[in-house]
Structures are given as structure tokens and as C-alpha cells.
Chains A and B, each alone.
Chain A
Amino acid sequence: MIDLALSQNKEIFVLNLGPQHPATHGVLRVKLLMDGEYIVSAEPVLGYIHRMHEKMGENRTWAQFMPNTGRLDYLGALSYNHGYARVVERAAGIEVPERAEYLRVITVELNRIASHLLWFGAFVLDLGGFTPLLYAFDDREMILDLLESVTGARLTFCYFRFGGVYNDIDDNFVPGTRAFIKRLRKRMPEYHNLVTKNIIIIKRLRDVGPISAGMCRRYGATGPVARGSGINYDVRKNEPYSVYPEFDFDIPVYEDGDSMARYMVRMDEIEQSMRIVEQALDRLPDGPVMAEKVPKIIKPKPGDYYSVVEAARGTFGVRVVSDGTNTPYRLKLRSPTFSNLSLYGEAARGMLLADALALMGSLDLVIPEIDR
């Protein structure tokens, strides 16, 4: 197709965006066919950071794969821990104590806030504004400090275990989290004043990069991308898991489908996640954080198991096939940004280069998760 286009119009040229490019935030390569500054076609090329996570899963025990899940999407590692822990718990029939579920929800939502904050900064960086990134990092560091004091790590937390969580929270966690939420509540209006209401941002995002609900469905886009196109789908509400049904929170949905809508969905989700964390802290029950009688070596009954969670970037699904041994027979990860990126080729057609990069930023790509 590229050869054909090139032979027909001598003005068209190929622009390799990446694998090393400031806007791809990783080793993603997008092969762009350009007519001046307009994109004739865009084709994402993957494989530069493929690490065979799914195959690795088949070669190690169930528990040993847990650290890998945090390395898919290193910005929202806990959601991926959660997804994998849930599918193995389902397979092995392990019940999780209530306190552990609450801790899971609290940490996952904090992690979601951290992920969205980093996305917010990186997105504005894509649009050429550097300063909001550092402000967002300032807030994100607070979350990482909180999570580090509980999990022991700042990025690849590996906090969840089959049947609960690795260890209980310390005394500082609850007051620290409350203080952080109070602080972030004050900072959010500032972010909105500095970025959301800025006329340059509005001009760059509104009506730019429209993605229709139909396109989302065709490519299987989920998460904020789909919710920005008017699809009211969030696993936390539609297929409730863990203790999410007990909390009162909304799923932000915007109908426009443009970059602004996706931006607003994520900014609103930060607010909603804060609500969930507050409610969970209020109702945090006492009790064990680890199920009793979890076997040291897990051997689920033979069968085919699937579980989905709502990660920061969309629906994360894990399918495992067990043959009754201590390693998975097959492990399949359904990562959200892979689908979200798939629609890029169609959505970016005919756009200006600058707008196409704004569109790419609004998809919130984490390349190691796409390439697994």
C-alpha cells in the first residue's frame, strides 16, 4: 500500500516516528506516510520490546509469574497484579479475606491516580508544556511514598498474593493517604486552571482526533478511550469484582470522542478514585490480610479460567489454562492498550502531525504492555 501511494504521488514521503522518538514514550515505531504535514496513513510497528511474558508464564510456577504482571504496565502495576491474582484465586478456589480486598482496592485506586497523574503530565509534555509534568510528578511521588511504605517498592509493587496481600499496612498509611487526598483535592483545581482551561489546550484537543463509539467497538478499545467515545463500560461497574459494589462512585463518560473527552475522562477518574479510596479507608475492616490454608505450591484443577479487571488504561484480562500441574499450561494476557493502539492507524488518517501526536498521547500508551 505504501509503495502504491508513493508511486502515485511523488510528494508523499515516509516518516519513521520512532522507535526512538520523544512522543512515543518508549520503543514504539509508527510508520507514517505523509503528504506535507498531513498523515496519509499510519501504521504502528510493534515488537521492539517484546519479552515473551506469556511464554514465561508457561515456564514458571503460578506464584513466580506474579512479578511479571507488574512489568506489563509499570505505571499501573497493581491492577495487573490484581487481575492475575484473581484468576489464580478463581482457579484454585481461594477465598480472599475482606480486609485484604479493601487493601487491594485502596492500593489499586491509589495506583490508578498515580498512573493518571503521570499520563496527565506526559500528555501535556506531548503538547509541548513541560511544567505540568513536574507538578504531576510531585503529587505522584507522594502516592509512591505511601505505596512504598506498604509494598516495599515504588514501581513494580508485586504486592498481591493468591489469597490476600503481601503484608498489612503500617500505622502511617491511613492518615498519610487521607492527607494526600486532601492535598490532591487542592491541587486538582490548579491543574484545571493551568491546563484544562488553557485556551491553547482547548484549541489543540477539542474536536481533534475523534474516535467514534463504533470504531472503539470494532477495535476492542476499552477504558478511558472507550468512555471518551460515549461507551459506558467499566468493569468495576459492569462486572463488579472485589469489593467495588460496596462503594459509591461514578463512571465518567463523555460523548464527544475527541482528545479532550479522553482527557476529561481521566481527570474525572482521578476524582472518582479519590472518592473510592476515602470510602474504603472509612470502612476498612479488621482481620487477616491473607487467607488461611493457602497451599505453598498451587496446583489448580485442570480447566480454563478467565478474569478481567479495570486497569488504568482499560480492561485487563487474564486467561489461564491449567493442566493440574504447578505451572500454567497456557497463559494469555489481554492488555488494553494493545487494542487502544490498534485503532490509531484508522483514527490518525488525514490528521496533522501535531494533532496525531496529541491523539497518540490521549490514548495513554505504555509500550511494554502493548508488546508484552
Chain B
Amino acid sequence: MTLELKNVGLRFGAETHIFPTDLKLEDGSFNILLGTTLAGKTTLMKLMAGLEKPTSGEVWFAGKNVTGVSVRRRNVSMVYQQFINYPNLSVYENIASPLKVGGTPDIIIKQRVSTMAELLKLTPMLDRRPSELSGGQQQRTALARALVKDADLVLLDEPLANLDFKLREELRDELPKLFADRDCIVVYATTEPTEALLFGGNTACLFEGRISQFGPTGDLYRKPRDIISAEVFSDPPMNAAGIEKKGNTFHLGTKARWDAAGELSGLADGTYTLGIRPHHVSPVSRGEQPVAVDGRVIVAELSGSESVIHFNMDGSTWVSQSHGIHPFEVGSQARLYADMSKAMIFDGNGRRVSA
């Protein structure tokens, strides 16, 4: 049981929403769609579900072409970012709805709804209307409805985005447990790279209607194939700058220079783009290959145990994120250290050239 998108694309007139996409999701896998708002996450999910018909390509499920098959005939469930429940039905009836339509006997419905309610801590609210619940409880109801039937494909479209911090953490912990012993494909859309890393599984980076890379989440984070995947998978945004390689040395601006190590030494001379994540730029010299970079401080945020410093370096804005409190005066000249052993180098076409 796999879900396969074969060259699936969606256009409205001259506007392309999803560029032709190939994607294969394995049975029992947890997949994350990572991308900013308007990247096309929801549209791609609707294509997977059958709520939207692709204008090109085919959708295959469990070895069958299901491209034109209505969502009603597919065994799919979905949870949206907004809390979507049937307002005129009680929580119990909401959860029971997919089973009832499917013609499940009442006794079994009762059993499964109460198990699901127990699991999602909704038992005391079963007789209430969704509007009488808190946001977290409303989203739990939607989750319960999505999980109560044994769907082959579960689509979660930023289900935690509209919840407050505490509830989000709580549900985020519970989610993987809910899917642990289920035989289904889960697709989870999110805008937050940290969320993707917490869930693990596979990640697809989505940028402006295109999947830039798909693979195990950890690999994608450590070894992005190109600059787009690296940027999508970085929060706060990745620092980037043009660099030049001359001989065995990289030059960044006028002052910063460092030796090319390992595979990088084999790189041809020329101009490249450097990408380095904010937590590899620190006010103290550390790591394997710290290189000093100077800049004017724009913003200095000290939050609890973390310092985030935005500074202007040769015209581009860089961010440093480090542990500990490092006070900087806004407007002052600061020296920070970038651990270049962790840097990523991209060629003129945005492809990453090395480890």
C-alpha cells in the first residue's frame, strides 16, 4: 500500500499551483511536507486526497490508478489548520460520523468512539457541541474523527498551528504515539523546521509549488541537495553570502578567509554561495574551523538562555543564535565567529557541492 504521485501537476489558467511532481510515500510512513505559507502544501494534500483533480499526471494508490476517483470512495481522512467540526452535532456524533456513513453497526461505533475519546481525553465532553469546547479540544475532536476510521491515508494540514504554545507541545508529543501501531500513510504539513525534526520520518521540502527534495528528515537537514531545501529547512533563516575560492582558500568579503578542507579542496576556483545556519555563528570562537566575521549589530534579542543577534555584514543581514547571554549594543561593531566546518557551499545553480 503506497501512495504514488506520477508527474502530478495543477494549474488554473496561466497560473501554476503545483508543478509536475513525482513522489512515492511508503506504507506505514510518517511524511512531512515542509514549506512556507503559500508553498502549496494544502493544494498538494488535496491532490493526494482526491479533493482536487490534477490537471496533469496520475495518482496511484496501492497499485491502482485513483486519479479521477472521488474522495468519498477513497479511504482518506484529513485534519485542517482551522478547527473543522460539524457545529450542529455533539462531539460524540462528530467522531462517529465517518463510521455512521460507512454503515458500521451501532455497538461497534460506540466502542470505537469511546476508545478514541479516551485516547484524546474527550470523554467528559462527548455530549457537548464543538462550539462549547476550547480550541485544543476542538482540534482533538477533529483528530478523533480522522482517526476513528481506519483510513489508509491520513492528511494533517498544520493541525497544531492555531493552538497556543502549551497545547501544541502536548499534542505534538501525543501525535506520533497515535500513529505508532497503525497501518497507514501519514502526511503532516508544517511551516516549522523544528516540528519536522521532532517528528522525524521523511520530509519533502516544498517551495513555490515544487518539491525541492524528499528523503529522511535528518538527511535533509544535514545534507540538503540545494540552497532552496537548505533555506526552507532553516529557522531562523539561513545566512548566505557570496564567496570566492582562490587556490586552497575561501574568501568572504575582504577580511574573512579560511582553508578549504577535505572534499572542498578539490573544488575548482571561482565564485560560490556560502550557507551557514544561525546556530553555527556565535559570539565566542568555537567549533572546528571558527572564522571571524565582523558586522554592525541591528537587533539583539536576549531571551532567557539564548541570544539572537542580527547583524549587517557587507550589506547582507546575518543572524547568530547561541546559548548564553551575550549582550551587544545595537549599532555597535561586533565580531562573531562562524564555524566554517559546518558551512554549506552551493554552486552557481544553487546545488550543494560538498559535505
Q: Do A and B bind each other?
A: no
Taking Cβ atoms with an 8 Å cutoff, the residues of B that contact A are: none
Taking Cβ atoms with an 8 Å cutoff, the residues of A that contact B are: none
